[in-house]
Structure 1
Amino acid sequence: MKKKGGKGLPPISTASLPDVIFMILFFFMVSTTMRDQELLVRYTLPNATEVQKLEKKSLVSYIHVGQPTPSMQAKFGTAPRIQLNDSYKTTRDILDFVAAERDKLNEADRASMTVCLKADDMTKMGIITDIKQELRRANALRISYAAQKTLGY
Structure 2
Amino acid sequence: MKFSNERRGMQELNTAALPDIVFILLFFFMTTTTFKNTQVQVENQLPSAKVVEHLERTDRTITLLVGQPLKGQAAAEGELSALIQINDRLLGLQSLENEVLKEINTKPQYLRGEVEVIVKVDAGVRLAVVQEIKEKLSALSVRKVHYVALPKGDG
Do both proteins adopt the same fold according to a TM-score greater than 0.5, normalized to the shorter chain? Answer: yes
CA–CA separation in structure 2 for the residues paired with 1:81 and 1:39: 11
How many percent identity over aligned positions? 24
1:124 is displaced (CA, Å) by 0.4
Aligned length: 126
Aligned-partner SS, 1:53: coil
Match of 1:68 in 2: 69
1:109 is displaced (CA, Å) by 1.5
Supply the AA of the counterpart residue of 1:61: I
Match of 1:40 in 2: 41
Deviations 1:45-73 (A, max 9, x none): 11011111111112110111112222x33
Supply the AA of the counterpart residue of 2:94: R
Match of 2:53 in 1: 52
1:138 is displaced (CA, Å) by 1.0
Match of 1:30 in 2: 30
CA–CA separation in structure 2 for the residues paired with 1:58 and 1:149: 24
Deviations 1:18-57 (A, max 9, x none): xxxxx9xx89x93985334221101111101111111111
What's the TM-score, normalizing by structure 2?
0.69
CA RMSD, 1 decimal: 2.8
Q: 1:111 to 1:89 in 2, by over 3 A?
A: same
CA contact (8 A) 1:59 1:112 kept: yes
Match of 2:119 in 1: 117
Match of 2:134 in 1: 132
Runs of 4+ in 1 over 4 A off after TM superposition: none
- Unaligned runs of 5+ residues in structure 1 are 1-22
Match of 2:104 in 1: 102
- Unaligned runs of 5+ residues in structure 2 are 1-22
